[in-house]
C-alpha cells in the first residue's frame, strides 16, 4: 500500500496537529511517511512517534538577514531537488502539507510529479508556504474561516482526543463552588509579560474575593514568577511545564494565555473561557486574528499586549464570576470542531484513492 506523505516542520503549531492526523491514518491501517528538517521540532517528535522521516536541508527564509535572502534561490532549488528525490523514493498516493518552510518545496514538487496535494492551515492568517501552495493544491483546508482567497474547506485544527473528549462545561461546573479557578500559561517557554502582570492583578482582586491560581511560567521564568506571587503573599501553584493540558482545561474556570492556533482550538474544543493576549511579534500578527475567532463570538476577551497592564487586567477579572465564565465556555465549546482530525485524514484517504469506510 502506498503511503500518505505528511509535510510539516519548524514549530509545534505545525507538527502536533500533523501528528494527530498521522495517528488517525495509522489507526485506519494506512502507512504514513514524513518530510521534515533536522532543525525543527519534528526531528525529535516524529521519530518518537514511530514514523519514517526524510530530511530536507532547508531552513526558514522569512525574517532572516540579507545574506540568507541572497542565498534563497539556491537553497530553494536544492530543497526542490531533495524533495523530488524523496517523492520518487516513497511514491506517496497523496501529500499533505501542514505548514512550515518544508511544505513549500515538497508541495511544489508534489504538483510537478502530479501527486495529489492537500494543504491545511492552522492559523487565521495563512503562512507564506500555504499561501503559495493554495494556488496549486487539489484541496485547501483551514482551521479558521476566511484566510484564503481560493476555495477552501473549514475543518478546524486537529486536537488531541484527550481534550475533545472532555465533559461539557455544564457537567464540569455542576458541583463546583468557591473561588474562581484561573489558569495562566504562555506556551512551553512561558510569557514574561503575563508572569509579571497577572500576579499584581490577582493581588488586587484577592482584596475582595478568593481565587485559585495555577500558573505555568516556563523554565527560564519559574523562580521569578514564584517570587512575584510570594512577595504579594498569594498562594499560587507555579509550574515550569504542563504535561497534561486536558486536566488543566478541565480544572479551570478561566484561562489567561497567548493566542497560538492550537491554543485557541484547544480552548474551543475543551470549552473554556479565556482572556487572550496575542504575542505581538508573531508573523503577520496572526495571533490577534486567531483570538478574534473566539472573542468575536463572546467566548474570550481579547486584550492586546500594548493595552495589558495591572489596571486593564483587573477591569477584566473583576467582572468574571462562574456564571460569566460558564456562559463564555459554552460559546467556546460551540466553536470547537472535535471531528477535525477525522476530516483531514478522510480528505487524504479520498484524494489518495483509499477506502474511507
pLDDT reported for residue 101:
86
Average pLDDT over residues 321-347: 98
What single DSSP character describes residue 183?
Answer: E
pLDDT reported for residue 70:
60
pLDDT at 304 > cutoff 60: yes
pLDDT reported for residue 65:
53
Whether the CA torsion 117, 122, 128, 129 is positive or negative: it is negative
Using 50, 70 and 90 to split pLDDT, how confident is the model at 248? Answer: very high
* Residue of 202, 200, 256, 192 lying closest to 224 (CA atoms): 192
pLDDT reported for residue 322:
97
**Tens digit of pLDDT for each residue in 88-130?**
999 999 999 999 889 999 999 999 999 999 999 999 999 989 9
Using 50, 70 and 90 to split pLDDT, how confident is the model at 52? Answer: very high
Q: What is the maximum alpha-carbon separation in the chain?
A: 67
**Tens digit of pLDDT for each residue in 267-297?**
999 999 999 999 999 989 999 999 999 999 9
- Measure the N-to-C terminal CA separation of the chain; round to a whole number of Å: 16
**Tens digit of pLDDT for each residue in 171-198?**
999 989 999 999 999 866 568 899 999 9
Contact 94, 4 (CB under 8 A): yes
**122 is annotated as contributing to ligand binding:** no
Cα distances from 273 to residues 143, 289, 294, 299, 331, in angstroms, run 19, 17, 9, 6, 8
pLDDT at 315 > cutoff 80: yes
Listed by start position, the domains of the chain span 4-159+338-352, 163-335
Residues 294 and 273: their CA atoms lie apart, in Å, by 9
Fold matches, 4-159+338-352 and 163-335: yes
From 3.40.50.920, 3.40.1280.10, 3.40.50.2000, 3.30.479.30, which CATH number describes the 4-159+338-352 domain? 3.40.50.2000
Using 50, 70 and 90 to split pLDDT, how confident is the model at 234? Answer: very high
**63 is annotated as contributing to ligand binding:** no
Contact 180, 321 (CB under 8 A): yes
Average pLDDT over residues 33-61: 89
* Residue of 61, 65, 88 lying closest to 74 (CA atoms): 61
3-state secondary structure of 170: helix
- Backbone φ and ψ for 218, nearest 5 degrees, come out as 85, 150
Could you tell me where the DSSP H helices lie in 55-120?
Answer: 66-90, 103-112
Q: Whose grid coordinates read 483546508? A: 141
Domain 163-335 has CATH 3.40.50.2000: yes
Residues 69 and 126: their CA atoms lie apart, in Å, by 21
**188 is annotated as contributing to ligand binding:** yes
**13 is annotated as contributing to ligand binding:** yes
**242 is annotated as contributing to ligand binding:** yes
**160 is annotated as contributing to ligand binding:** yes
pLDDT at 259 > cutoff 80: yes
Amino acid at each position: 500500500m502506498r503511503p500518505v506523505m505528511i509535510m510539516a516542520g519548524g514549530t509545534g503549531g505545525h507538527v502536533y496537529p500533523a501528528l494527530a492526523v498521522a495517528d488517525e491514518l495509522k489507526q485506519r491501517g494506512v502507512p504514513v511517511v514524513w518530510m521534515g528538517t533536522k532543525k525543527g521540532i519534528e526531528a525529535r517528535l516524529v521519530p518518537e512517534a514511530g514514523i519514517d522521516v526524510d530530511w530536507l536541508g532547508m531552513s526558514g527564509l522569512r525574517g532572516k538577514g540579507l545574506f540568507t535572502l541572497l542565498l534563497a534561490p539556491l537553497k530553494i532549488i536544492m530543497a526542490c531537488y531533495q524533495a523530488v528525490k524523496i517523492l520518487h523514493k516513497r511514491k506517496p498516493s497523496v501529500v499533505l502539507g501542514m505548514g512550515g518552510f518544508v511544505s513549500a518545496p515538497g508541495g511544489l514538487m508534489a504538483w510537478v510529479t502530479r501527486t495529489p496535494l492537500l494543504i491545511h492551515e492552522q492559523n487565521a492568517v495563512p503562512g507564506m508556504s500555504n499561501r503559495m501552495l493554495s494556488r496549486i493544491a487539489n484541496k485547501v483546508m483551514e482551521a479558521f474561516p476566511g484566510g484564503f482567497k481560493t476555495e477552501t474547506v473549514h475543518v478546524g485544527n486537529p486536537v488531541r482526543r484527550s481534550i475533545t473528549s472532555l465533559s461539557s462545561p455544564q457537567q464540569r461546573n455542576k458541583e463546583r463552588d468557591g473561588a474562581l479557578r484561573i489558569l495562566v500559561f504562555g506556551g512551553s517557554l512561558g510569557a514574561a509579560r503575563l508572569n509579571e502582570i497577572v500576579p499584581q492583578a490577582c493581588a488586587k482582586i484577592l482584596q475582595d474575593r478568593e481565587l485559585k491560581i495555577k500558573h505555568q511560567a516556563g523554565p527560564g521564568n519559574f523562580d521569578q514568577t514564584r517570587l512575584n506571587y510570594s512577595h504579594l503573599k498569594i498562594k499560587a501553584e507555579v509550574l515550569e511545564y504542563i504535561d497534561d493540558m486536558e486536566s488543566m482545561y478541565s480544572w479551570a474556570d478561566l484561562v489567561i494565555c497567548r493566542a497560538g492556533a492550537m491554543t485557541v482550538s484547544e480552548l474551543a474544543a475543551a470549552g473554556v473561557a479565556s482572556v487572550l493576549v496575542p504575542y505581538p511579534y508573531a508573523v503577520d500578527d496572526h495571533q490577534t486574528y486567531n483570538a478574534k475567532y473566539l472573542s468575536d463570538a463572546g467566548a474570550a476577551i481579547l486584550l492586546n499586549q500594548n493595552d495589558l497592564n495591572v489596571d486593564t487586567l483587573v477591569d477584566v477579572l473583576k467582572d468574571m464570576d462562574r456564571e460569566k465564565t460558564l456562559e463564555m465556555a459554552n460559546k467556546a465549546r460551540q466553536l470547537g470542531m472535535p471531528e477535525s482530525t477525522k476530516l483531514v485524514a478522510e480528505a487524504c484517504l479520498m484524494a489518495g484513492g483509499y477506502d474511507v469506510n
